[in-house]
Structure 1
Amino acid sequence: MAAEVSRRLVGVATLLVAAASWLGIAGAAQAKPAAQAKPAKPTAVVLSGKDLPAPLTVPAQGKPDLFAALLDQVGFLRTGGGNTGALKAADLGPKYTLAVHAGDAAQQTYDLYPLAKGGPRVHRPAQQPDKSRPGAAWFFGRLTMAETLLAAGAPLPEQNITTLHGGGIGGGERVIPDEAIGTGEDVDRLLGELRQLMLLNGAVLVSITLGLAGIALLVRRRTR
């Protein structure tokens, strides 16, 4: 009897220890998001590139409109996965690096390609200056990228800015390129396939209806 009581006490103690451990882990997991610090408010952006003699600093206080326009090019890319794949180096065009600063320290950096084939592109490096690791990713850039970088001082040809087309829009949407639009033959083939699919579905529906009617008739005869 005493041995049985001892075994039960040991079992209860084990359950209590396990429950306490689980509650401690759960509490730590719930407290972890609250402990994460909010990202610092950007105070400036710094634009650099091979064809720039020196990095261009655009402060939020001194040039608020240009600062907001440049930050808008990358503000939606801090987290999340990309929405496009990488292009060949020959199709990317000139590269500019935009660093988002909070105070004297850079927080995020992005590689901008305003004249990329098919529209502007943005690459987010895997490692960021603020020690975060959102993962490397490629994005469609905003169609205003070339115009905004030109306003900031990047030596981009103006004629290319007015002829850019088929690029992407920040936030996950993009303009469909011309080669993705089907021809008349493609439309006719699609309509033909849809007709065949509808006829097939109709035949299946008729077969099911006849089968159900036959089963109902058989049941009715047997129940008489």
Structure 2
Amino acid sequence: MVRQVGRLAAVLAGVLTAALVGLAGPAQAAPKPPPGVDITGAGLAEPLRLRSDAQPAHVNALIDQVSFLGRTGSPSGPKAADLGPKYTIVVLAGDTPKQTYDLYPKAAGGPRVYRPAKQPDSRKTSAGWFLGRLSMSETLRTAGVPLERQYDTVSGGVGGGERVIPEDSLNPGRDIDQALGELQRLLLLNVAVMLVITTGLAGIALLIRRRTR
């Protein structure tokens, strides 16, 4: 009888262990690194390093300046004398550079964006010029770039076309929400696993007590 109880306990312990491994495995996957943006350019003695955990609004606004670019842009842009100050932004995932763009908020005829063909993540793309959003100058200024304030800037601006930057790197807010959701699911999973283990051990103890009477 004691042997049978021992075998039953071993089987139940194996089932609980398998359940623990099966449930905890997917939840322990590392969350995606939060996005960030580095800015270099005219008037900046050192790069501005913005991260979504500290400046989520600025990171979102800056990524929005390049999130609408299509697959192909104009092969040529304004004359160099008409471009004004240049600011290069690098979009990161964690500390890994993913995309880079040159922004010209004071270009004649409206803001311009230049996308180099060579990207940090080795992604194949075509070089091209694009009309930028009218909010580019104010977005850069509020992020820390030394630009004069514009009072006639309206939200939005030109832009459109097919999105070419991976969706995961263009929506920091969603990435943060996803990370928090994964953390919540992990905590709930741990609680559920503990309850299963506790219930299983209590059942084994009760069964052994009854069998040994």
TM-score between both structures, scaled by the size of structure 2: 0.56
Contact 1:84 1:139 in 2 (8 A): no
CA offset at residue 123 of structure 1? Answer: 0.1
Number of aligned positions between the proteins: 129
Contact 2:34 2:53 in 1 (8 A): no
Q: Tell me the alpha carbon deviations over residues 25-80 of structure 1, each in whole angstroms, 9 at most, x when there is no partner.
A: xxxxxxxxxxxxxxx77610111113101101111111111111111001223x51
Question: Which residue matches 2:106?
Answer: 115
Question: Which residue matches 1:102?
Answer: 93
SS of structure 1 residue aligned to 2:129: strand
Question: Which residue matches 1:132?
Answer: 123
* Structure 2 alignment gaps of length 5 or more: 1-31, 162-213
Question: Higher relative contact order by CA 8 Å / sep ≥ 6: 1 or 2?
Answer: 2
Separation of aligned partners in 1, 2:98 and 2:82: 28
CA offset at residue 83 of structure 1? Answer: 5.3
SS of structure 2 residue aligned to 1:118: coil
User: Which among 65, 72, 76 is matched to residue 68 of structure 2?
Assistant: 76
Report 1:19-98 matches (<5 A): 43-77=35-69, 80-82=71-73, 85-98=76-89
Question: Which residue matches 1:207?
Answer: none
* Structure 1 alignment gaps of length 5 or more: 1-39, 173-224
CA offset at residue 117 of structure 1? Answer: 0.3
Larger radius of gyration: 1
TM-score between both structures, scaled by the size of structure 1: 0.53
Question: Which residue matches 1:11?
Answer: none
User: Which among 125, 132, 151 is matched to residue 141 of structure 1?
Assistant: 132
Separation of aligned partners in 2, 1:126 and 1:149: 23
Q: Which amino acid is 1:143 matched to?
A: L
Separation of aligned partners in 2, 1:84 and 1:162: 32
After TM superposition, where is structure 1 displaced by more than 6 Å over at least 4 residues in a row?
none
